């Protein structure tokens, strides 16, 4: 499901590992017990996509289409900030992805 929101050369096995790390990070930093499974999965997918883009920052272009990674990363961060604000008013997405590197 991560590939549905980001185009990356990272292997499926590595993405699966990143999802596991993201879920552990979320459990350590958020009150995930109060989240529905669907919402937790949505946050995990979006955060993992952000991590994938940080690890594979090369822009993509196919024909006339090109993807600006910086813009995609900003959009993912905004999505996460919106979710966190709706969840608890004021939780902010701080990408501590270096710990997931």
pTM: 0.70
Confidence (pLDDT) at 39: 85
**Tell me, what's the pLDDT at 101?**
41
Q: What is the pLDDT of residue 16?
A: 94
To the nearest whole percent, how much of the chain has pLDDT over 70? Answer: 74
Q: Which residue has the higher pLDDT, 95 or 25?
A: 25
Beta-carbon count within 10 A of 53 CB: 22
HEC string of the chain equals CHHHCCCCCCCHHHHHHHHHHHHHHHHHHCCHHHCCHHHHHHHHHHHHHHHHHHHCCCCEEECCEEECHHHHHHHHHHHHHHHHHHHHCCCCCCCCHHHHC
Does residue 77 contact residue 5 with C-beta atoms inside 8 Å? Answer: no
Mean of pLDDT values over 9-18 = 91
């Amino acid at each position: 499901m991560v590939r549905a929101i980001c185009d990356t050369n990272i292997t499926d096995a590595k993405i699966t590992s990143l999802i596991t790390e993201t879920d552990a990070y979320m459990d350590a930093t958020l009150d995930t017990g109060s989240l529905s499974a669907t919402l937790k999965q949505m946050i995990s997918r979006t955060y993992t996509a952000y991590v994938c883009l940080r690890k594979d920052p090369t822009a993509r272009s196919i024909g006339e289409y090109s993807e600006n990674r910086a813009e995609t990363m900003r959009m993912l961060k905004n999505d996460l900030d919106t979710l966190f604000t709706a969840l608890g008013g004021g939780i902010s997405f701080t990408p501590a992805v270096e710990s997931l590197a």
